[in-house]
A = this chain, B = another copy of it.
Amino acid sequence: MMARWTSEQLGAGAKVEEYPDLRGALEGADFVINMVQIGMHEATLLDFEIPKKYGLKQTIGDSMGIGGIFRGLRTIPFVLDLAGEMREFCPEALLMNYTNPMSTLMEALYTARPEIDSVGLCHSVPLTAREIASYIGVDHEQLLYECAGINHIAWMTRLEVEGEDAYPMLFAALEDSEVYAKDKVRFELLRSFGYFVTESSEHNAEYTPYFLKRDDTIERYDLPVDEYVRRSEKNLVVYAETRQKLLDGEDFPLERSVEYGSLIIHSFVTGEARAVYGNVENTGLITNFPDGCCVEVPILVDGTGLHPCHVGDLPSQCAATCAPHTAVQNLTVRAALEGRRDHVHHAAMLDRHAPSVLSLDGIAAMVDELIEAHGDALPEGIRTVGVGRRRM
């Protein structure tokens, strides 16, 4: 409905259609965009409520940590089905994934469906650049940046304004209490690791063991525990309201977003070269990240397709903040593809946040309860006790 309204407003003349099955939607497609939430609000609630019982607090829970692991496990079967259907109905199409957990889903895709071209897209890089611009008081078009890492933990390795390093300006902003208050976790990470990271303070709080394990730090850094549950509830309301407004013929503001999807389509069709940030398999692109993990890097797009760019080494300390997460993502993908319940346990035990709160048996009990609760939504094999190296 919104797509139709937008097309009309812009006079784009786009044909908007709904299909009851994948086949109808995929047949003859050149581009496939994946934006889904498997399990809806109910599954999200489980991902928050069960860990909370064990003492493990989360803020967003959509990409990393225990919430990210289980959202990954129940979404992997869907994306593999989607890409499987694409092999039949549109084998040449490009799959653009916007769904979280980004890195886990992308690793599952290029591992198990390598014959389908795919790329993971997220606005966190360009939005972070705009936030930095606002913190240092320049127009975002003045800010030159380079960025690399994994989705949501990509590091701004270069910031320049008019040919000058902009990091001193950002360290100065850190000391301005008003600016600092807007993004406490990321400014603390800047102070500690020397570089600014993508996404937001509420996301990054749960990607590290430093902030959420104690009440005093939760308070000091204004951490919105259970934030995503509230957002998820609000989303349901906004969805209903928007629908009603559309039915009522009301107007919406129309402005170009920072999302890369439509730009990529434009480049494919017109041949115009562009640089975007996207999430792809690490084929030696970031040299101190493991080969095969999913990385967020600059990508050249033109009429011949997507060409990820070589990045080289990230600063060692930045690489080290990502390494545990790429391991967890790999174990989550293996758990789903090989049906190994033990790898779900391994993933949770190797998360950076969970072990800062729980002991090994606490993590094990929490994982078992989550597996039980999500039931059939999880891939075959994971629900069976005793699969993998040992009974778990």
Q: Find out whether the CB atom of B310 lies under 8 angstroms from the CB atom of A346.
A: no
Report the separation of the CA atoms of residues A299 and B300 in the bound assembly, to the nearest whole angstrom: 8
Report the separation of the CA atoms of residues A211 and B349 in the bound assembly, to the nearest whole angstrom: 12
Question: Which of A280-333 touch B at CB < 8 Å?
Answer: 283-285, 287-288, 290, 298-300, 302-304, 307-310, 312, 315-317, 319-321, 323-324, 327-328, 330-331
Closest beta carbon of chain B to A338's beta carbon, Å: 11
Report the separation of the CA atoms of residues A345 and B284 in the bound assembly, to the nearest whole angstrom: 28
Tell me how many residues of A have a C-beta within 8 Å of chain B.
Answer: 67
**A225-233, A242-250, A356-364: which lies at the interface:** A356-364
Question: Which of A205-226 touch B at CB < 8 Å?
Answer: 208-211, 213-214, 217
- Whether a CB of chain B sits under 8 angstroms from the CB of A54 is no
Pick the contact of A346: B299, B317, B352, B390 (CB < 8 A).
B317
- Whether a CB of chain B sits under 8 angstroms from the CB of A275 is yes
Pick the contact of A319: B273, B274, B327 (CB < 8 A).
B327
Pick the contact of A307: B194, B298, B328, B352 (CB < 8 A).
B298
A345 surroundings in chain B (CB, below 8 A)? 192
Beyond contacts A188-B360, A194-B388, A316-B334: 12 other A-B pairs, Cβ-Cβ < 8 A, are A191-B390, A192-B349, A192-B360, A209-B209, A209-B355, A210-B349, A213-B356, A273-B274, A273-B300, A275-B300, A298-B300, A355-B356
Report the separation of the CA atoms of residues A300 and B271 in the bound assembly, to the nearest whole angstrom: 14
Report the separation of the CA atoms of residues A217 and B389 in the bound assembly, to the nearest whole angstrom: 25
